[in-house]
Structure 1
Amino acid sequence: MTTTKQQNEKVWFVTGASKGLGADLVQRLLAEGYKVAATSRKKQSMVDLIGEHENFLPLTMDVTSNHDVKKAIDQVVDKFGSIDIVVNNAGYSQIGAIEELTDAEVKNNFNVNVFGPLNVIRNAAPYLRKQRAGHIFNIASIGGFVGDFAAFGIYCSTKFAMAGYTEALAVEMQPFGVHTTLVYPGYFRTTFLDKDSVMVPASPIEAYANAREVEAQHLKEINGNQPNDPKKAAEVFIELSKQETPPVHFFMGIDAAALVNSKVRTIELALANNLKLTESTAITE
């Protein structure tokens, strides 16, 4: 059946809500009267930050555990009666050149940034399909569209992966009236690049001077000077959730458009410069 609700009756489920974009979104949602379930590896950190509220359900959840995720989503439905808007926000940045990162470092980043959101989608989708309404926000990064940052190849690849499956998810969920939006944030002034949030390579290789330069730029220059306000991002999410036909792709941030346009020009030029060779593989009778 199709569920029709007033906007502020909708139940939001936000992962990675103990800080950053997730925490600001939860606080704004509660201030506007929404019902909100939010997750973190440490429930108390959210309670300390946000406090207790009748419309707030803080949950301890390991996004990499399908069992944990299923249990959390079932708790949301038990408390609020439904789940309407899912925000896959949990994630972290693994810095390091491709060669210098270990197998474990790479897999850990994929487990959280790629497979974690898939756990959420897998367990939320049955509820959304049944009610034939809902909205899934997958939070990627501008690095999920532009990947030419030395030392950020693995992190960007996790976000490219999310972009790929989100495009398919949007088509799969459309017949059920469920919207899907892939959000590519630029640089927001959060704790994302703080030393207790970002991961640096366990065994850096001295030869990668370019990787260390980009790493230092992000940790020492960009961190604390990001041009975008996370509180304004919270407003953007709410506005997108109100749209009748929200976009599948949404680039967010004052810095996003320039990076997107530069990538688009690069691809267009690469195609144009080799178009004859590109099309030379056609079968001719």
Structure 2
Amino acid sequence: METKKVWFVTGASQGLGLALVKKLLAEGYNVAATSRNAASFKNEIPQSSNFLPLEVDITNAESVQRAIDQTVQVFGSLEIVVNNAGFGQLGALEELSHEEARKNFDANVFGVLNVIRSAAPYLRKQQHGHIINVSSIVGFYGEFGGWGVYNATKFAVAGLTEAFSAEMKPFGVKATIVYPGYFRTNFLQSGSLKTPENTVEGYTALRASEKAHIEDIAGSQPGSPEKAAIAIADLAQNENPPLHLFLGSDSFGLANAKVEILQKAIADNQAVSHSTDF
């Protein structure tokens, strides 16, 4: 592997982000890693010359810009960016307030945009680089009640990444959307998963689903974050990386199910689709 490549990873103090940073450092890469609290890295990653811990508020454009600039100043370049920071928001659409929904979009979508805006000028100028945006399988297959706002943020990440890929192609910069399924991280814990502040009576199935995710599914997810880290590290070595990458057998299965649903809907309604042309 090329040890000179510089990685910038957001949301890196836990879960998939932390597993990825550990993998990259073990392989000799230079890594800048962000967290809301840089001190959280101390117990997980020893100090070294190729590790730059950064305290960043991804919802604040100035904070993100400082972090990107500092990364380039310390390591001399920037090649690979992984947008992994974010959190989950549970709740039926009518239950969630504007503030709750906005906070989820601020972190999961506008945080990604802040990083892209700050990193793109460096990547475009050097005519190479790779931005990897971590979405979720629910950003492709969204038929999960109680996850609507979170789903929407992850669909948005996928949509903006597709456009970004087209925009940056002339400059030699690549983009990939990663759609993880259930991975055995702390995502389903209170710090990463929020429940609605006010609930509406009658959503019995949603309350049961919330309880199951927090009490039963947490800790028994099928995906290994360490294996996901290997997959993402390998992805960056691909000269022609995929725009879409589904991680986990559950994600792979749901992606195929969604494709089948779309193919059937398209075929069944072909006459209606064509009927609206002049």
TM-score bin, normalised by smaller chain: over 0.9
Gaps of 5+ in 2: none
Residue 181 of structure 2 is aligned to residue 186 of structure 1: yes
Q: Which residue matches 1:33? A: 28
Among 100, 106, 114, the residue aligned to 2:109? 114
Q: Which residue of 2 aligns with 1:270?
A: 265
SS of aligned partner of 1:270: helix
Q: Which string of whole-angstrom CA distances, capped at 9 and with x for unpartnered residues, describes residues 203-247 of structure 1?
A: 011211122122222212211110010001111011111111001
Which structure 1 residue ranges, 4+ long, deviate > 2 Å from structure 2?
Answer: none
Query: What's the CA shift for 1:65?
Result: 0.3
Aligned to 1:3: none
CA distance in 1 between counterparts of 2:149 and 2:104 reads 8
Q: Could you tell which deviates more after superposition, 89-98 or 271-280?
A: 271-280
Cα deviation per residue 1:90-148 (whole Å; 9 max; x = unaligned)? 01000000000000000000000000010000000010011111110000000100111
Q: Is 2:167 the partner of 1:156?
A: no
Q: Distance in 2 between matches of 1:53 and 1:27?
A: 12
Match of 2:57 among 59, 62, 68: 62
Aligned pair 1:44/2:44, yes or no? no
Structure 1: which amino acid aligns with 2:35?
S
CA–CA separation in structure 1 for the residues paired with 2:190 and 2:50: 33
CA distance in 1, matches of 2:48, 2:201: 50
In structure 1, how many angstroms separate the alpha carbons of the residues matched to 2:170 and 2:189? 41
Equivalences for 1:94-173 in 2 at 5 Å?
94-173=89-168
Q: Comparing 23-32 with 211-220, which one deviates more in the overlay?
A: 211-220
Question: In structure 2, what is the Cα distance between the partners aligned to 1:89 and 1:257?
Answer: 20
Contact 1:14 1:22 in 2 (8 A): yes
1:240 to 235, 240, 247: 235
Cα deviation for residue 51 of structure 1 reads 2.1
Which letter does structure 2 place at the counterpart of 1:54? Answer: S
Distance 2:72 2:268 in 1: 54
* Secondary structure of residue in 1 paired with 2:227: helix
Name the SS of the counterpart of 1:204 in structure 2.
coil
**Aligned partners of 1:177 and 1:91: how far apart in 2?**
27
Q: Percent identity?
A: 53
Gaps (5+ residues) in structure 1? 1-5
Bigger Cα displacement from structure 2, 191-200 vs 116-125: 191-200
Q: Secondary structure at the match of 2:42?
A: helix
Instruction: Give, as a single letter, the amino acid of the residue that structure 2 aligns with 1:210.
Output: A
C-alpha distance in 2 between matches for 1:277 and 1:210: 35
The answer to whether 1:260 aligns with 2:240 is no
Q: Give the match's secondary structure for 1:50.
A: coil
1:208 equivalent to 2:199? Answer: no
Q: Are the aligned partners of 1:149 and 1:214 in contact in 2 as well (CA < 8 Å)?
A: no
**1:2-17 mapped onto 2 (5 Å cutoff):** 7-17=2-12
Write the distance in 2 (CA, Å) between the matches of 1:47 and 1:59. 12
Kept in 2: contact 1:64–1:112 (CA 8 A): yes
Query: Partners of 2:115 and 2:14 in 1: how far apart?
Result: 19
Counterpart amino acid of residue 56 in structure 1: F
Normalised by the length of structure 1, the TM-score is: 0.96
Please list the CA deviations of residues 52-100 of structure 1 after superposition, one character each: whole Å capped at 9, or x if unmatched: 1111000000000000000011110110001110000001000000000
Alignment-mate amino acid for residue 207 of structure 1 = G
CA RMSD in angstroms comes to 1.0
Q: What letter matches 2:40 in structure 1?
A: S
The amino acid across from 2:41 in the alignment is M
Partner of 2:212: 217
Cα separation, 2, equivalents of 1:260 and 1:173: 26
Letter in structure 2 aligned against 1:81: G
Q: Which amino acid aligns with 1:27?
A: K
Q: Which deviates more from structure 2 when the two are superposed, residues 202-211 or residues 241-250? A: 202-211
Distance in 2 separating the partners of 1:267 and 1:259: 12
Aligned partner letter, 2:205: N
Q: Separation in 2 of the partners of 1:164 and 1:148? A: 18
